[in-house]
Amino acid sequence: MKKILLVIVLTQLAACMSFSDSSFRSTRSSIEEQIPYISLEKEFALSIGNSMLSFLDVITLNEADISELDHVQVAIYNVESAGQEIDFNDIDFSETLRSRGKNLHWETIVKVRKKGEQVRVLVGMDLERNSLEAVSVFVLENSELVMINVDGDFDHMIEFALQPASDRRRERDAG
């Protein structure tokens, strides 16, 4: 009976994960259109859905409260640029990410440019609901591009993350 239960659980968990980069195809195509001299070849991709994240929440005894996330997607691409230097300033990331949701307004919140490394972090906000819905990270280092997309209820997660500080402030003010 235990073996059957284990097989069922493992099958369900495997069904909640994907090694396809299909969620990044429009983003990849947009980047290649904006910088025509580059080619992006998938090296690795992983997509984790809400069921797996909820399961991880149970295993960690809700320590991280990640069950509010809908998806976590990661892809790593080898970048061929015919010897030309790639500049993230040539890419309109807000336009690139519009394919992920027309209702989201994208803003760049972090921009890092060091020798051999460029990073952009963008947040997708639903302005009608006044909520943070998505975070996307782009890291270009040497000839490798890493893309990370996270979708979910970030408002709840931010409240959860700030709760310990709020509790300490109440204790300090009461004392």
The neighbour count for residue 66, using CB atoms within 10 Å, is: 20
Give which of 42, 50, 49, 36 is closest to 20, Cα–Cα.
42
- For residue range 68-84, what is the model confidence (pLDDT) as tens digits? 677 789 999 999 988 88
Nearest-angstrom CA–CA distance, 105 and 94: 8
Rounded Cα distance, 38 and 152, in Å: 31
d(CA 44, CA 130) in angstroms, rounded, equals 34
- Tens-place pLDDT, residues 47-56: 877 665 555 5
pTM here is: 0.76
